[in-house]
Structure 1
């Protein structure tokens, strides 16, 4: 029973981490990209929805494993592939179905646990802030750094120059052509009137 309970705990931990990541991404998009306000209630609903989706996935896995177990029972020939189960696999399929059931049950319990949902949201908020802080720190270090402070300056110089030629100068040239085209059309329209 220890292996089953360990597998359930691991499955719940993975699903909770995935829910936290979903919420973190929603926080980043809603508050930063779209300029929204952090609303704990909205993100609790997002966490509950993420857990619900993963519980349904575990329930579907349980049903699939039960079907595979039924088909495997009484089959004693050699399997033709990885998922071609035989009678000797029935016990393992039953255990895996039990584990999936346990994960789904725990996730559904967590969905109704306001404190657990709050913890997921708070950890997601902290993760979002850590991402923002890391990105700001990196940008400030890179953009504010003088060449003599950058140990990789000489190594990366050729790559930066190539990017300047292939990307930045090409974009600038394209913008200039577009501006000239617009001015030419405006001039033609003014002369036509």
Structure 2
């Protein structure tokens, strides 16, 4: 189990990371998705509530460990499962109880410290903006990518051409032959002179498939 102080510090660190994630998500939804102005003070109450909620979870875990320890006291038979504790587990359950209580106490102290709450909101804001920036950069790279700059262009080109031949063109042909389309016959009639010299097996909806082979 390690030293109690070290375990408490680790628990607080994990809980703080969970709080930042929760606050970051609220910032993303509020300021970006709903186009609301960002205000550090405005997110303070939510950050404080998040810390208190995490503290309550730790307190509930501490109470559970306490009940498990009392239930395990004086039992020396083999356990029936992972959480079926026996007398030999009471020492670790006591340590676990102290650790949960210590983490909850520290989280409540953090929730009552305005400086800590503000710092937590600012860190969450930076994480939210970092996510947005990364998403924008990925989108710009995709939309602004030219074939000669795409390292996977040549490798994926044959797959894309095959997808066009096997999926897109048959779907387009079926759409043009759809019953009740008054213009389908006219388009087919207009296209006949242009394809008179082409092999019918090499054209779909007036498109020369040989052009996709290169």
Q: Could you say which TM-score interval applies, normalised by the shorter chain?
A: 0.7 to 0.9
Matches of residues 133-152 of structure 1 in structure 2 within 5 Å? 133-152=133-152
| Structure 1 ranges of 4+ moved more than 4 A | 159-163
The structural deviation recorded for 1:166 is 6.9
The structural deviation recorded for 1:161 is 7.2
Distance 1:36 1:124 in 2: 16
Distance 1:151 1:45 in 2: 48
Query: CA 1:32–1:86 in 2, change beyond 3 Å: closer, same or farther?
Result: same
Q: In structure 1, what is the equivalent of residue 93 of structure 2?
A: 93
Correspondence 1:102 to 2:102? yes
Unaligned 5+ runs, structure 2: 182-214
Q: In structure 2, what is the equivalent of residue 187 of structure 1?
A: none
Q: In structure 1, what is the equivalent of residue 122 of structure 2?
A: 122
- Count of matched residue positions in the alignment of Structure 1 and Structure 2: 172
SS of equivalent residue, structure 2 residue 88: helix
Distance 2:161 2:94 in 1: 57
Q: In structure 2, what is the equivalent of residue 40 of structure 1?
A: 40
Distance 1:84 1:99 in 2: 20
Q: In structure 2, what is the equivalent of residue 15 of structure 1?
A: 15
Query: CA 1:93–1:150 in 2, change beyond 3 Å: closer, same or farther?
Result: same
Q: CA-to-partner distance for each residue in 1:115-148, whole Å, 9 max, x for gaps?
A: 1111111111110111111111111111101011
* TM-score (normalised: structure 2): 0.73
Unaligned 5+ runs, structure 1: 181-193
Distance 2:82 2:160 in 1: 46
Query: CA 1:89–1:2 in 2, change beyond 3 Å: closer, same or farther?
Result: closer
Query: CA 1:54–1:147 in 2, change beyond 3 Å: closer, same or farther?
Result: same
Instruction: Give RMSD over aligned pairs.
Output: 2.7
Q: In structure 2, what is the equivalent of residue 55 of structure 1?
A: 55
Query: CA 1:7–1:150 in 2, change beyond 3 Å: closer, same or farther?
Result: same
Q: In structure 2, what is the equivalent of residue 25 of structure 1?
A: 25
Structure whose residues are more often helix by fraction: 1
